[in-house]
Amino acid sequence: MAIIPLAILNGGLREYVLTGCRKSDYVSFGIIRFILINAFDLMAYLRDGSGFSGLLHSYDFRTGNTWILLVLTTVGGAIPCC
């Protein structure tokens, strides 16, 4: 349950950082978040011993993994709709 307050803080921080930004800033922010999420996940897989192949396996739709949808949403989620 500790993840919920962290998610709220993340949303608040993102709103604070992105207030007053241009559209190109949003795209840059989304790409940076994409890179950081993948780097964090790769570190977890390296620590676990499965390495880069474990990270790639988590993006394989054939095994029912849909994690890539969440990661790609982070890139597009930073871009405002209006």
Domain positions in the chain are 22-77
Residue with token string 């499965």: 50
Torsions phi, psi for 52 (to 5 deg): -65, -30
Residue whose entry in the numeric block shows the structure tokens 């500790």: 2
Distances from the Cα of 30 to the Cα of 4, 12, 37, 61, angstroms? 21, 16, 10, 23
Residue 82 pLDDT greater than 60, yes or no: no
Q: Which of helix, strand or coil describes residue 20?
A: coil
For residue range 5-30, list pLDDT tens digits in order.
877 887 788 777 767 777 777 778 77
Q: What is the pLDDT of residue 46?
A: 92
Q: For 35-65, what is each residue's pLDDT tens digit?
A: 888 888 889 899 989 988 888 888 888 888 8
d(CA 55, CA 58): 5
Whether the predicted model's global pTM rises above the 0.85 cut:
no
Q: DSSP class of residue 1?
A: -
